[in-house]
Amino acid sequence: MSSQMNGSWTRRAALGAIAGAVAAASTPRTLWAASGQGGSPIFDALGEIRTVYTPALLDDIIASGTRAISITLTDPKVGVDEALDLLLLDISAYNRYLKSLPNHFILARSIADVDRAARERKLAVFYNIQDSNPVARDLDRVAVLRGLGLTSIQLTYNTQNYSGAGCFVENDPGVTPFGRELIARMEKERVLLDLSHAGMKTMADAVAAAKRPMIISHTACKALRPHRRNTTDENMRAIAKKGGVVGITQIRTFLTDAKKDNLEVYFEHIVHAVKVAGIEHIGIGSDRDHRVIPDTEEELKILLQEEGSQIKPTDWPLYLEKLNGPRRMEVVHDGLKRHKFPASDIDRIMGGNLYRLYKEVVG
């Protein structure tokens, strides 16, 4: 994630820049054929777009059929005292970057922008944050951030915050009273609730408290790999019962120990998740860079610098070797086909389920 900042972008200026809500719209499925695969627009529930991406790299991403992506603004590891200011700087930096490449990007605030991206062969970019720290204890900030283009808030990152416990918390106490208030306010403002990184009790409590569908944008199946970042079958079923979507991540360490010949394990997690939650509730949430990342000591040093103590050198590489690059969604599409998913189910997993969720929740 880029750390670009504009020193003139103050909190006062940002809070005064609330935009009006974008009217919701729908479109016939025939528009989705423009995504490149002939079905639903390919939609990554959570992935990376960095401000260093070149037009040539973006051309490859778009050529893969990807038409929508939700990207994380601001390092979720920062403390609550600085989280809002850093988020406002990131919003400014990404707005400038996306607007500088109008032939590639659409700054997305509603599902109508995905429809436009499909028609115009562009990439609709939604903004999310992976911790509710920028809200702190001020619920009015939810409307402010929605007005500035934020469409999804993750309740917690890895540790305890005002709303609940992340997956690194050994004894998860569940969603706090403030967390319940935050969920209600997010639903009122049409901000999608993301439960990735949450502890299992916090996740279960949040699902029970929510009235609208929610997402786990990037996770894998704890039944197949008991990693603390993965999700239990019980919670996946609960998400599905509320109409939500579970995005299956492409981070290798959540999926397998194997560092080579490891593509098939990704589809094992998708197949398991579909069996548990149902075909209408599974999507792709890569959590991955689109650049081809070389397997070098220099790249490992960069990763350790970005991620700090939550990553060990033995976790390298984080990527699955066949999904390391800008056209990885083509590999996923072909793999689902190889696993005998019918075309309609492939459409759902590759983007149709996320399209439905965003249309219902975000508008």
For residue 61, the domain's CATH number is 3.20.20.140
Domain annotation covers residue 245: yes
Select from 211, 158, 202, 157 the least CA-distant residue to 179. Answer: 202
The C-alpha atoms of residue 13 and residue 9 are separated, in whole angstroms, by 7
- Residue 227 falls within a domain, yes or no? yes
Answer whether 0.75 is exceeded by the pTM: yes
158 falls within a domain: yes
- The reply to whether 21 falls in a domain is no
User: Structure tokens of 107?
Assistant: 């700054």
Residue 183 domain flag:
yes
Query: Which of 150, 112, 108 has its CA nearest to residue 25?
Result: 112
**Local confidence pLDDT in tens for the 363 residues of the chain:** 333 333 333 343 444 433 333 333 333 333 344 444 457 899 999 999 999 999 999 999 999 999 999 999 999 999 999 999 999 999 999 999 999 999 999 999 999 999 999 999 999 999 999 999 999 999 999 999 999 999 999 999 999 999 999 999 999 999 999 999 999 999 999 999 999 999 999 999 999 999 999 999 999 999 999 999 999 999 999 999 999 999 999 999 999 999 999 999 999 999 999 999 999 999 999 999 999 998 888 888 888 887 777 778 888 999 999 999 999 999 999 999 999 999 999 999 999 999 999 999 999
In a domain, 299, yes or no: yes
From residue 174, alpha-carbon distances to 98, 170, 293 in Å are 38, 12, 37
Range of the structural domain that residue 91 is part of: 35-361
The count of structural domains within the chain is 1
293 falls within a domain: yes
